[in-house]
Amino acid sequence: MSLNQAKRDEISSILQQTASTRRATVPTLEEILYQPISVLDHGFIRVIDYMGDDTAIVQAARVSYGKGTKQIQQDKGLINYLMRHRHTTPFEMCEIKYHIKLPIFVARQWIRHRTANVNEYSARYSILGKEYYIPRAEDLSVQSTTNRQGRGSAMSSEESAKVLDLLRKDAELVYEHYEDMLNQDQEGNILDPNRSGLTRELARMNLTLNYYTEWYWKIDLHNLLHFTSLRGDPHAQYEIRAYVNILLDTIKKWVPFAYDAFIEYRLEGAHISRTGRLILKRLLHGEKVTQLTSGLSQREWKEFITLFDLHYLENSAS
């Protein structure tokens, strides 16, 4: 992770300021406010601002004033009920704003979730810094043969070394050409006073997708939880899951009751189809069930037996 001196000075100045308020604050989240949390090699996440806490969720559900007279366990129980029965509106009453630095290819996945307010660093206005993502050798894998958008087995050390070398060479070369087309370096200094540089909006187009961008990302809690459930799934790309792990940690600090309910009923819970529920009933009654008699496709059957650790059924005869 890298922050320039001006940004570090800005954060230091902000951290020295205090303000009194009547709105809800969360001490555990206040402790990390504005502080960059490292992700990947040059990325980070910073919590910039937030609105609401667990109490705000309860208030919205009860349409009550203040904290009222309800006990903590009753509040926790209500949040569990809301999460369990998918009553999502009360969770929308909490919002949080992040400053995130991430590789462009991760940003392009991220932005598909159209439920947040986003303002991204403009490479039309400013020169993009020379920071690009290089994976760790252990994170390089071959293409999966069963999932067109997934990773398969790990690459050999020789193949990994070749890939990493190509990534570095390409990233260095395109940035050299980027500066040459701009006729400026990353600090904005003119390289050759005798010629004009290409406009920034065009010069940026040759940069590789592993270069870093930044944005401010503001989202309500309901949509944030939905985002983390999808991008935190084991089948999601490793690089975006690295960011989700940090997001989850900030959610835990911010709304611990909602976080616990989310882990219990969503992230580590399971959704089962009508046919799957009927299969479970048949198995509990001692009936022999195979993929051919289950009513599920081969893929659904594999997912079902993996979900409930019923691998002994894989070799059941039809």
Whether the Cβ atoms of residue 84 and residue 261 lie closer than 8 Å to each other: yes
Collect all residues with Cβ–Cβ distance below 8 Å to 261 and sequence separation of at least 6.
Answer: 79, 80, 82, 83, 84
Start-end of H helices in 183-297: 200-203, 221-231, 238-254, 256-262, 274-284, 291-294
> What is the distance between the alpha carbons of residues 267 and 261, in angstroms, rounded to a whole number?
9
- Taking each helix axis from N to C end, the angle separating 221-231 and 238-254, rounded to the nearest 10 degrees, works out to 140
Tokens 């960011």 correspond to 243
State the DSSP code for 211: B
* Distances 291 to 34, 90, 193, 271, 288 between C-alpha atoms, Å: 53, 41, 73, 19, 10
> What is the distance between the alpha carbons of residues 101 and 215, in angstroms, rounded to a whole number?
7
Whether the Cβ atoms of residue 134 and residue 167 lie closer than 8 Å to each other: yes
> What is the distance between the alpha carbons of residues 36 and 100, in angstroms, rounded to a whole number?
9
User: Whose CA is closest to 293, among 284, 282, 303, 285?
Assistant: 282
Residue 231 designated active-site: yes
> What is the distance between the alpha carbons of residues 260 and 251, in angstroms, rounded to a whole number?
10
Q: Which of 46, 200, 204, 231 is catalytic?
A: 231
Residue type, 266: R
DSSP assignment of 65-93 equals: SSSTT--HHHHHHHHHHHHHTT--GGGGG
- List active site positions: 231
